[in-house]
Amino acid sequence: MADAPPASGSQFRRVLLKISGEALMGDQGYGLHPPTVERIANEVKKVHDLGVEICMVIGGGNIFRGLQGSAQGMERTTADYMGMLATVMNALAMQAALEALGVFTRTISAIPMDQVCEPYIRRRAVRHLEKKRVCIFAAGTGNPYFTTDTAATLRANEMKCEAIFKGTQVDGVYDSDPKTNPDAKFFSRISYDEVLTRNLRVMDASAIALARENSLPIIVFSLNAPGGLAGVVQGEGKFTTVSTLASDQKGAA
Ligand code: UDP
């Protein structure tokens, strides 16, 4: 199946979508906002309908972040495990929303919890993808001191995804924050090295380095444009591709 042609309408056969936990909280400032979860599930369904095989990694920052816990005096590893458990809650919420839309989905956890979801077994996950089930990888890497960005890059490599789609609040990578700087320069493409040296915070540095080592493109796009994900998967709309190619210095915005 690894050699199957790309799905029709898409240049990609298998992709990983990474979203932060905060993308699921709507305007609430905390937790899960069911209409927002449903909206993102609809975006995923549109890509699934194109025949693309989909992996997902969802963060946990809408519920708990290890660094916050340790800043408040909690032991770091315990706090990180709480963060990982938060990602499982988000994954289950997304699974429920996708299955309500008729998209078969598996939540697969790096920390075994058999009554709740499947444990991570690479070959089994590949089989799910081949059967067009969406695989949501939960509990990050299963290890403290990591983030779900790194988990996303790890799983994307293991699943032989052709790209990571990183959904954010902005429509790509800029040289400064476009929300505060109207002159911020947009990059339609940029290299891993430039992202790291300019400290552009696309994903954390270990995730970028892991993607660079495996030449795995990262496509940064806005989660807020309706139909945006399906468009971007088909090469339409505004987005930034992070790869080995140097940036477009003119920065066409
Ligand atoms: N986490 C971890 N190991 C991992 C992934 C996540 O310890 O492999 C913990 C860490 O405490 C992190 C929290 O889970 O703060 C939530 O993940 P993340 O901060 O990546 O979520 P996001 O910012 O994407 O919502």
Quick check: is 60 in a domain?
A: yes
Quick check: is 136 in a domain?
A: yes
Residue 78 is part of a domain; what is its CATH number? 3.40.1160.10
**Residue 90 alpha carbon, nearest atom of ligand 1:** 25
Question: How many whole angstroms from 226 Cα to the centroid of ligand 1?
Answer: 27
Quick check: is 63 in a domain?
A: yes
The 10s digit of each residue's pLDDT in 125-158 is 999 999 999 999 999 999 999 999 999 999 999 9
For the chain, give the mean pLDDT: 94
Quick check: is 228 in a domain?
A: yes
Nearest CA to ligand 1 atom 23: 61
Indicate the number of domains in the chain.
1
What is the extent of the structural domain holding 218? 14-250
Instruction: For ligand 1, say whether the CB of 241 is within 6 Å of any of its atoms.
Output: no
Quick check: is 238 in a domain?
A: yes
Q: How confident is the model at residue 5 (pLDDT cuts 50, 70, 90)?
A: low
Mutate to test the pocket of ligand 1, among 36, 80, 90 (most ligand atoms within 8 A of CB): 80
Quick check: is 21 in a domain?
A: yes
Quick check: is 233 in a domain?
A: yes
Quick check: is 144 in a domain?
A: yes
In the chain, which residue ranges form alpha helices assigned H by DSSP? 34-49, 66-71, 76-100, 122-130, 148-158, 192-197, 205-213, 228-233
